[in-house]
A = this chain, B = another copy of it.
């Protein structure tokens, strides 16, 4: 069973129970609009990644602003999105295993469904599941454009795989999956540009070879929040897959723009509100949010409300705010807003989003309480 919601609409922010996942709705809506405007201007499509937000409510807002559908990373995640009204999902990832393939094929009865492949063996299983269910599934061939994770080699090997896809009844070759994950968090624009230049070259080469082989790429997908402007301007990518842009996190905020200033295209719209539940000494405020409320893979949360405060030494349900360098300090029982280091796996720890209207006003209030509907959708 999910937890009871920590808030109800109308409640002041200060009354929201903790630890709670907080969305600054005004900043969130501005982020959605900024990305929608950017892709419209660049003349490319947007298919935002639902692995970030896990919410069909957020996904429908993205689609209302022009997104063509959503990316998902798992079949179970895609099921939740389709159940929530999303008509078009791409599983931008390999799917292996009979149970998952049957669920994927069944989903194609309810929505437009695409999936990535990087191996001939996977194509056989996928095609068999599609034929058994009597559906056609769109297939992107995933190429490794520099991330050294999944993906077949660009060029000839990718063309060979695409030809296998095109030959299978039940499958429709739909294009390329060409995401460079490692490039997203390279800190300088020069580093990101160099990495994405390589990805664009490999992708262009493959698109050209496919065309020569008679295979058109309806979708050339990739890009994340850290590099989307580069793929958007490439003339090769036509569908961007950014996810984090809607919320931002402390790690993306460490990226730099071309002029060396902090990356500020999007605003922090996501927080965890925590309570100071112990204050044994004046320099240490222990909060009630630790390893089960934040993912620490990209560092500790930021503490924007108290200049100089450092979140240290997380344990399962605790974190220590080191206040040594603070002039202003929270008190026992105070609630503090913390900025997650990495938004996606942090959101996945929570059952509810608490949407706040007027976050920077004198009376911030709860406007919406949304389930993190695909939390735990790892299958």
A residues lining the B interface (CB < 8 Å) = 1-4, 6, 17-19, 51, 73-74, 76, 93-97, 99-100, 118-119, 121-122, 144, 148-153, 181, 275-280, 284, 286, 288-289, 291-293, 295-297, 313-318, 320, 332-333, 342, 344-345, 348-351, 373, 375-379
Contacts and interface: CB of A to CB of B under 8 A. Distances in A.
A57 to B, nearest CB: 14
A125 to B, nearest CB: 8
Given A373-B1, A378-B293, A316 B349 contact: no
A85 B296 CA distance: 34
Contacts of A99: 17
A292 B333 contact: no
Contact of A349 (B6, B320, B376, B379): B376
A82 to B, nearest CB: 14
A181 B2 CA distance: 29
A286 B332 contact: no
B318 A149 contact: yes
B279 A119 contact: yes
- How many monomers of this protein are in the complex? 2
B333 A121 contact: yes
A47 to B, nearest CB: 17
25 contacts: A1-B2, A2-B2, A6-B379, A18-B379, A51-B316, A73-B317, A74-B317, A93-B317, A96-B277, A96-B333, A118-B280, A119-B279, A121-B332, A122-B332, A149-B286, A150-B277, A150-B318, A291-B344, A292-B345, A292-B348, A292-B378, A296-B296, A316-B345, A349-B349, A350-B376
Contact of A278 (B18, B150, B276, B286): B150
Contacts of A76: 3-4
Contacts of A149: 278, 286, 313, 315, 318, 320
Nearest to A350: B376
The 8 closest A-B pairs by CB, nearest first: A150-B278, A291-B345, A96-B277, A73-B317, A94-B277, A94-B278, A292-B348, A316-B344
Contacts of A351: 376
Contacts of A144: 280
Given A99-B17, A318-B150, A378-B317, A118 B3 contact: no
A228 to B, nearest CB: 18
